DNA sequence: TCATTATGTAAATAATAGTTTACATTTGGT
DNA sequence: ACCAAATGTAAACTATTATTTACATAATGA
């Protein structure tokens, strides 16, 4: 599974740290999800997608 | 977080067992997610939503 | 160069998701 | 009432996510 977190962050010009604060997880959590090392819960995924104002399916793509 | 799995299952008239097979997890996993005891990974959530042909955000609702 | 901010890596731990098995209860049909 | 299928509950176990801390390495600007 891949994701577009990095691109979405770039659009808004926010750091992993800032995103982490916005969705209320640690920076490491954002980091490992962004790098595809971990898969978030649907709850966290929804919070992230909601923050970026895009559908979950656009932020996380199953290949 | 609540979900509409039961309603979606009802629409298609399929059992927890059948859904479990479709998305390739155990019936217990479906059961505990449906009852809100566990939160699925975004990957499983996407598989379920895809199967029901609805957005993830419609299947899982953060209150 | 120096300081600062952002990102990468790693490792130990806690918390939670998902599996498996087994049995109880409910529901619907005959 | 009986049978079968569906659903509920539970417990032990494994796998994975998320936290925390710490340090290394870019990258950027003063």
Which domains, and CATH codes, for chain B?
2-61 (1.10.260.40)
pTM attached to this predicted model: 0.94
**Closest amino acid to nucleotide D20 (CA–C1'):** A26
For residue A38, give the nearest of B42, B59, B39 by alpha carbon.
Answer: B42
d(CA A12, CA A63): 26
Q: What is the mean pLDDT of residues A17-45?
A: 94
Flag residues of chain B having pLDDT under 50: none
Q: What is the pLDDT of residue B63?
A: 82
How many Å apart are CA B56 and CA A60, to the nearest integer? 11
Q: In chain B, what residues touch A60 (CB-CB under 8 Å)?
A: 42-43, 46
Residue A30's pLDDT band (boundaries 50, 70, 90)? Answer: very high
Q: Is the CB of B41 under 7 A from strand D?
A: yes
């Amino acid at each position: 599974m891949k994701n577009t977190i990095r691109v979405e962050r770039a659009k808004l010009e926010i750091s992993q740290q800032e995103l982490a604060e916005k969705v209320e997880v640690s920076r490491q959590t954002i980091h490992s999800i962004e790098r595809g090392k971990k898969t978030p819960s649907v709850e966290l995924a929804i919070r992230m997608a909601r923050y970026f104002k895009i559908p979950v399916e656009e932020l996380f793509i199953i290949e």
